[in-house]
Amino acid sequence: MGSNRFLTRRRTVLAGGLTLLAAGPAAAAERAAPGHGHRPGWTGTWAAAPTGVPASADTVFEDQTLRQVVHTSIAGDRLRVRLTNEFGEQPLVVGEAQLARGASGGSGTAIEPGSERVLRFGGRGHLVLPPGAARWSDPVPLRSPAGSDLVVSVYLPRRTRAATVHSSAFQHGYVAAGNVVGKTDIEPVSTNTSWHFLSGVAARTAPGHRPRAVVTLGDSITDGSVTEVGANHRWPDHLARRLREAPGPDPVGVLNAGIGGNRLLRDPNPPAGSPAEDYAAYFGESGLRRFDRDVARQPGVRYVTVLLGVNDLGHPGRDAPVDEEVTAAELIAGHRRLIARSHARGLRVLGGTVLPFKGDSLGFYTPEREAARTALNRWIRTGGGYDGVIDFDAAVRDPADPERLRAGFDSGDGLHPNDAGMSAMAEAVPLRFFR
């Protein structure tokens, strides 16, 4: 959603990723990577959608180790990790990288002794990623239970601008001095709540299973804003728990492709001189533009859920120019394009109704925007374009005032559900869609 925690200049996002991803090093590097994600038996167990950063962003790493925690959705006995420099302007030099299980009951800085696995890329223990490139690691043998924490440690020996990021992880990350990749525990010099240069973990499941994944394409509501940090209370996390508990022999990975502030139709375009120039880049490329990378190329993807449109409605005049106001017809046309592209990839695509936001503190609501939201939701429910419908709106709206979030589900800004609201959203997803 629109939030003053996010970042950019439109030209930064476009120059930093789109051209390179479409036809340059990123796509080529991933095609060349051993065991690319679509080979049989490999399925995504965790994902985060990367973005660029604003020109004003000043986070730099040098001779430091990043220790980052991710939460699995399905189990595996062999794992691969995706590192990314897709929005960087300089080569990303990784001196060493490691994957391990998180220590039980630990602070997040500690790993389980004996679970350490060196990550190699084409047999090498170091990696140089050109600007615009991403790469899957070689497989490593490591049993990882479903619903558990993995810790990825990356040593950056050279001065490295944090140019590729998922800014709102709702999970603590740690930065330590020097190369401490192999240490069981570390003393951080700083902490953050972002994932840097890290966008995926794939798992090989037990023989005889037919694993598959669902990608949840969305904005900050899918990303987990503003849930408890480290609690894994995003609605896709709750969905992953439901799928694990449901009867059935085959696991379903849940890959979160939500980005705070993301729009369906347009890239970030902050008005000149506005505060949004310092955060809009974190909103990421439009849902339509990033579909191939964040959805279609995910390992084992078979399904996609779509929850986009509220920022298209709410950003104009605040985080985007006034002339980018959208109509329901424009949003419906954008959804139709996502559906067509999903079907062209053989994916089953499920449409999520847009949540209410009357009384929000960000200035999104107007009667005209509510009319557009209502028309869009009516089309999602009855238009027949989607293979199935997830009625998030009905799950969280106030019965006495359907244009508002229910008080017990409101995080306080009238726009984002709280942890209880996220659980209610996950409960609204019919699991029959994934059988």
CB 260, CB 282: distance < 8 Å: yes
| pLDDT tens by residue, 382-423 | 999 999 999 999 999 999 999 999 999 999 999 999 999 999
Q: Which of 313, 335, 333 is nearest to 325 (CA)?
A: 313
Tokens 């191939």 — which residue? 292
CB 168, CB 260: distance < 8 Å: yes
pLDDT confidence band for 17 (50 / 70 / 90): very low
DSSP summary character for residue 171 = S
Q: Where are the beta strands (DSSP E) in 89-182?
A: 92-94, 96-101, 117-118, 127-129, 134-136, 140-144, 149-156, 160-161, 165-166, 173-177
Percent of the chain with pLDDT over 70: 90
Radius of gyration, CA atoms only, the chain: 20
- Enumerate residues 6+ apart whose C-beta is below 8 A from 233: 224, 227, 419, 422, 423
pLDDT confidence band for 195 (50 / 70 / 90): very high
CB 73, CB 240: distance < 8 Å: yes
Give yes or no for residue 20 having a pLDDT over 50. Answer: no
Report how far apart, in Å, the C-alpha atoms of 169 and of each of 8, 259, 273 are. 18, 10, 28
Question: How many CA atoms does the CB half-sphere of 409 hold within 13 Å?
Answer: 25
Give yes or no for residue 10 having a pLDDT over 90. Answer: no
Lowest mean pLDDT among 23-37, 226-240, 319-333, 366-380: 23-37
Q: Which of 307, 310, 328, 327 is nearest to 389 (CA)?
A: 307
CB 71, CB 144: distance < 8 Å: no
**Model's pTM, two decimal places?**
0.91
Q: Where are the alpha helices (DSSP H) in 227-385?
A: 235-245, 287-291, 310-314, 328-344, 367-382
- Enumerate residues 6+ apart whose C-beta is below 8 A from 31: none
DSSP summary character for residue 144 = E
Neighbours of 190 (CB within 10 A): 12
The arrangement of secondary structure in 212-434, i.e. its CATH architecture, is 3-Layer(aba) Sandwich (3.40)
CB 51, CB 13: distance < 8 Å: yes
- Enumerate residues 6+ apart whose C-beta is below 8 A from 172: 69, 108, 191, 192, 193, 229, 230
CB 155, CB 196: distance < 8 Å: no
d(C-alpha 316, C-alpha 308), whole Å: 15
Lowest mean pLDDT among 27-36, 108-117, 227-236: 27-36
Tokens 């705070």 — which residue? 260
Containing H/E element for 256? strand 252-258
Give yes or no for residue 113 having a pLDDT over 60. Answer: yes
Q: Which of 155, 120, 117, 156 is nearest to 135 (CA)?
A: 120
Give yes or no for residue 178 having a pLDDT over 60. Answer: yes
Mean of all residue pLDDT scores within the chain: 91
Give yes or no for residue 207 having a pLDDT over 80. Answer: no
CB 185, CB 22: distance < 8 Å: no
Lowest mean pLDDT among 28-37, 59-68, 131-140, 290-299: 28-37
Give yes or no for residue 7 having a pLDDT over 70. Answer: no
